[in-house]
């Protein structure tokens, strides 16, 4: 049985086990109906979150070395309240704390040691000898271990490597289905209840370990056949190309491009980037031709706002607009990734696809599950996501009551084989607790006024951790001591 079908079968098995039972673990919520998730009183959700958080901490502290070191330095021995875990939220640097020299020198055995410290799975028996690229290294790990790694877009020049495994990927794919299902039928019901003939359009690469990963598993239950999972570009969104592109951009911005030390196998990928840019108009012509073939149909579109806006601009040049049925399924978000959008960018994307409304999502690759934007414009965290707000200046945990604005942080309880706590660089406004959103959903919700703290602070985002900065620095140093 293929990995894809084994995951889909596991999802169905988990759903069958949970059917008709009240959630006892936060992960149980993933396998109940979407309406049940958001109709459960917040006090009940929070009690289950706390129980699950205690269990995750007790299980993982002995298995995840940096978590144990951080807890020891903070003198945290147990979790009695949700707030107690705030000092243990990893900074964004943790998932990219590997030395770049390991990539430059093809030391993928040591990179495996680094990743092994972040997961409960034993990766040290995997044979990664002879690997000379990140993609090749991850391919080797996934062939020999339960890992199904995801990574960030690498715009900083370094990928965040999220140590997900098949355990979490089951949850991730189910959350895609739940996102499309919406609430009270607002997206027209569960896409799996259709005839498995709903095409998926992604204006990006067909393969990869970013957005493509859950879609590559879910497509049999959505569109039925691979030829209806339609992407703009063939091949893989390469971790190596993302790393190279990010490092080149960062070096050029500092006037240091000539000082870069790069693995020759990585540098050789630059020719692939040039060839891709040359053929990009050809790929887009083929993509639009396939889109036009489905004109007027109900489809699913997915991807970041950036790739959708780029597609809309390319479509305008070809005189294409109003493509799909108004009740199509959108899964869109991700911000503008530092690009400047014109004021009418949203209307141009909406006009291109023919949808009267395209709701966004809020999320990040480090936290499983995209938060839905409801009909009133707010984002709704899922029950397996514990939300924290920290004071951007001091790192202190803000009260979990009323309406508060601060740094968004999270504990992803769906992470069963790695520590799911993290800090973001976003400022958000949270409505806490029992307040019911005007859309009907119960519980905590987030206003759409998400902003990058670095932009508000005129440059670098200086993270003051919820605990002692020295403790976090020590955990980072431990991870880099390969």
Residue 244 has what DSSP assignment?
A: H
Residue 460 tokens, joined: 């670098």
CA separation for the pair 251, 336 (Å, rounded): 21
CA separation for the pair 140, 149 (Å, rounded): 11
Expressed in angstroms, the distance from the first to the final Cα of the chain is 36
Q: Which residues lie across from 236 on neighbouring strands?
A: 207
Stated pTM of the model: 0.90
Burial (CB count <10 Å: 0-12, 13-18, 19+), residue 129:
exposed
CA separation for the pair 426, 409 (Å, rounded): 9
**Residues 71-109: b if buried by 16+ CB within 10 A, e if exposed:** bebbebeebeebebbbbbbbbbbbbbbbbbebbeebbbb
CA separation for the pair 365, 152 (Å, rounded): 6
48 contacts 408 by C-beta, under 8 angstroms: no
According to DSSP, the β-strands at 200-208 and 300-304 are parallel
The residue with tokens 């029950």 is 383
Compute φ and ψ for 291, nearest 5 degrees: -60, -45
Residue 147 has what DSSP assignment?
A: B
CA separation for the pair 265, 182 (Å, rounded): 44
pLDDT tens by residue, the chain, 482 residues: 466 668 999 999 999 999 999 999 999 999 999 999 999 999 999 999 999 999 999 999 999 999 999 999 999 999 999 999 999 999 988 999 999 889 888 999 999 999 999 999 999 999 999 999 999 999 999 999 999 999 887 777 788 999 999 999 999 999 988 888 888 877 766 778 777 888 999 998 888 888 778 888 888 888 888 899 999 988 888 888 788 777 777 777 777 766 677 777 776 777 777 787 788 889 999 999 999 999 999 999 998 898 999 999 999 999 999 999 998 988 888 766 556 789 999 999 999 999 998 888 899 889 998 898 898 999 999 999 999 999 999 999 999 999 999 999 999 999 999 999 999 999 999 999 867 899 999 999 999 999 988 765 544 555 554 444 444 445 445 445 54
Task: Calculate the CA 157 to chain-centre distance.
Answer: 18
CA separation for the pair 244, 155 (Å, rounded): 10
CA separation for the pair 255, 265 (Å, rounded): 23
């Amino acid at each position: 049985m293929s990995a894809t079908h084994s995951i889909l079968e596991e999802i169905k098995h988990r759903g069958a086990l949970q059917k008709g039972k009240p959630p006892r673990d936060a992960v149980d919520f993933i396998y109940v109906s979407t309406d049940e998730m958001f109709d459960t009183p917040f006090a009940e959700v929070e009690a289950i979150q706390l129980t699950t958080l205690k269990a995750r901490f007790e299980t993982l502290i002995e298995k995840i070395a940096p978590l144990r070191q951080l807890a020891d330095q903070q003198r945290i021995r147990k979790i009695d309240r949700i707030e107690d875990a705030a000092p243990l939220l990893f900074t964004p640097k943790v998932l990219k704390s590997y030395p770049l020299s390991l990539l430059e020198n093809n030391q993928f055995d040591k990179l495996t040691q680094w990743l092994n410290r972040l997961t409960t799975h034993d990766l040290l028996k995997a044979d990664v000898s002879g690997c000379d690229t990140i993609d090749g290294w991850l391919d080797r790990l996934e062939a020999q271990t339960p890992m199904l790694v995801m990574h960030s877009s690498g715009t900083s020049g370094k990928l965040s490597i999220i140590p997900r495994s098949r355990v979490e990927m089951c949850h991730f794919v189910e959350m895609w289905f739940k996102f499309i299902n919406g609430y009270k039928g607002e997206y027209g019901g569960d896409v799996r209840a259709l005839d498995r003939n709903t095409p998926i359009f992604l204006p990006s690469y067909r393969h990869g370990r970013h957005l493509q990963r859950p879609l590559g598993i879910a497509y049999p239950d959505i569109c039925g056949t691979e030829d209806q999972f339609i992407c703009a570009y063939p091949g893989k969104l390469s971790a190596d190309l993302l790393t190279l592109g990010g490092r080149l951009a960062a070096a050029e911005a500092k006037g240091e491009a000539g000082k870069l030390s790069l693995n020759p196998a990585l540098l050789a990928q630059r020719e692939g980037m040039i060839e891709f840019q040359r053929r990009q108009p050809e790929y887009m012509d083929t993509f639009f031709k396939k889109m036009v073939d489905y004109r007027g149909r109900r489809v699913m579109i997915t991807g970041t706002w950036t790739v959708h806006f780029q597609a809309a601009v390319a479509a305008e040049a070809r005189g294409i607009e109003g493509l799909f049925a108004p009740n199509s399924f959108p899964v869109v978000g991700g911000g503008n990734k530092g690009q400047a959008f014109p004021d009418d960018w949203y209307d141009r994307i909406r006009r291109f696809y023919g949808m009267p409304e395209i709701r966004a999502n809020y999320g990040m690759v480090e936290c499983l599950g995209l938060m839905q934007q409801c009909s009133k414009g707010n984002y709704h965290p899922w029950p397996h996501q514990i939300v924290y707000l920290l004071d951007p200046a001091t790192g202190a945990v803000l009260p979990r009551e009323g309406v508060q604005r601060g740094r968004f942080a999270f504990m992803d309880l769906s992470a069963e084989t790695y520590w799911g706590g993290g800090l973001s660089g976003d400022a958000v406004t949270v409505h806490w607790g029992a307040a019911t959103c005007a859309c009907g959903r119960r519980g905590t919700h987030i206003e759409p006024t998400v902003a990058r703290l670095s932009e508000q602070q005129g440059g670098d985002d200086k993270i003051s951790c919820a605990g002692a900065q020295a403790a976090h620095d020590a955990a980072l140093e431990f991870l880099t001591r390969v």
